[in-house]
Each structure stands twice: as C-alpha cells, then as structure tokens.
Amino acid sequence: MTTAIWYAIRATGVVALILLTVTTVLGLLSASRVRTKRWPAFAQLDLHKRATMLALVFLGFHVMTAVVDTYVHVGLLSVIIPFTSSFRTFWTGLGTIAVDLLLAVAISSALRNHIAPRTWRGLHWLAYACWPVALAHALGAGTDATRLWMDATAAACTIAVVTALTWRIGDRRTAREEQDRVGATTRAVPLRHRRGAQAGRPAAVTTHPTTSTERPPPAATPTARVVATATRLLEKNRQ
C-alpha cells in the first residue's frame, strides 16, 4: 500500500506539473492574442480553463497522497502553511507556496464577477509565479529529479514557458510601438487637414452689394458699339 501511494505521489506530481505548464503557456498565448482560423479565441480559452481544472484535480490527488503517506510525513498543516514539514522542509515548502498561489488564482477566477477587474488581474498574475515555484519543488523534493526522463520533462516544460514568455514580451512591445505610431498619426491628421483647407480655400472676393434700383450697366458688346457709331454718323450727315 505504501509503495502504491509513493508511486501515486510521484505520478500525480509530474502530471500536475505538465498540466500547469500547459496552463501557463496557454495563458501567455491568450494574453498575446495568438489567433488563427483553426485556433479561434474561444477554443483557446476553453482549453485553458480545462487544463487549469485538470491541473487542480491532479494537484489535489498529489496533496492527498502526500498527506496520507506514512513515509514522507508531510502533514495536513504543511499543505497550507509553508516550511512546516519535516520532510525536505524547504522544497516541500515551495510546493505549499505553489498550492496556495494556484488556489488563490482558482478562487479569484470563480469570483471574477464579484471583484474589481484590476484586483482579479493582479491575482491572476500569481499563476505565472506559481509555475517556477512548482518546478523548483518538483526538482528539489521529488526523488525522480536525477532520472533522465524527469530532467527531459523539466527541460521541455521550461522551453515551452520561456518560448511563450518571449513571444508575449515581443508582442507587447510590437503592440506598444503600433499604438505610439497610431497615436502620432492621429495627432498629425488635424494639422494636415487644416493646412489642406487653407491651401485649397478660394481667395475672398470683396463685393459691394447693390440695391434693386441701382443695377450696374450692362457691358457693351462689339455689335452695340458699331450700331452706336453708325447712328452718330447719320445724325451728322442730316445736319
């Protein structure tokens, strides 16, 4: 029975670490707004929630098997309060911190509609702090840390999280530069419009209004001038 529990502790711990890694990577990708036609946003968020729930389930089994095991002597109090276990106090305490952080994230997510968005966002960031603490606990407290398969698992988890984090930082920097560029363009548009309006505005024509009784004489046409000249000549001949 003790051997079965010991294997259960190790197996559930490794699976919980892998699922926590998946949850962390999906959270970073969601924050980076990585979207494709085959990978829509709702599918990514749904997978993120399911991975988080599975991580909590396996973490619960990991904690329960560690408490009931008679060899490690973790104790129920050590599950809540860090560094109170007699078995590898420091590394087991890191596992307790990871459990507390993940529980805080889970509880805040369940109460998301009842807390301020900024508070929820701050608590949700604890999930990113939970992953390195859990990894350190797995490598320090686990008896499989010296095995090649465990080292490969830890290396793969680390590469996945570091890659997603690098993508997140680069995406945030790109978004900030794009925002600054759009802001500069928006500020410059009104100035260009004003200059364009001033350049294309027709010159003001000063006109003097005339009343209905004072109409300006019509302009003389060439035909009218010829008729007037002929009339004056005929009048001179008659005289």
pLDDT for 34 beyond 70:
no
Minimum mean pLDDT among 133-142, 149-158, 167-176: which range? 167-176
Q: What are phi and psi of 220, to 5 degrees?
A: -75, 130
pLDDT higher than threshold 90 for residue 219: no
Mean of the pLDDT values across residues 180-192? 59
pLDDT in tens, 75-124: 888 888 999 888 889 999 999 999 999 888 888 888 888 888 888 888 88
Per-residue model confidence (pLDDT) at position 223 = 58
C-alpha dihedral, 93 to 97 to 98 to 99, nearest 10°: 100
Rounded Cα distance, 10 and 141, in Å: 10
H or E, element range at 7: helix 2-31
pLDDT reported for residue 112: 83
Question: In one letter, which amino acid is 56?
Answer: L
Q: How far apart are CA 132 and CA 94, in angstroms?
A: 10
Query: What pLDDT is recorded for position 136?
Result: 94
CB–CB of 128/24 below 8 Å? yes
Asked if 89 and 83 count as a contact pair (C-beta separation under 8 A), the reply is yes
Look at residue 6 and tell me whether its pLDDT is greater than 50.
yes
For residue 64, what are its two tokens?
């329960």
- For the cut 70, the answer to whether the pLDDT of residue 144 exceeds it is yes
Q: Are 89 and 105 in contact (CB under 8 A)?
A: no
Contacts (Cβ under 8 Å, ≥6 apart) of 21? 131, 157, 160, 161
What does the alpha-carbon distance between residue 192 and residue 188 come to, in Å, rounded to a whole number? 7
Mean pLDDT of 198-203: 51
- Among 42-46, 121-125, 147-151, the range with the most confident prediction by mean pLDDT is 147-151
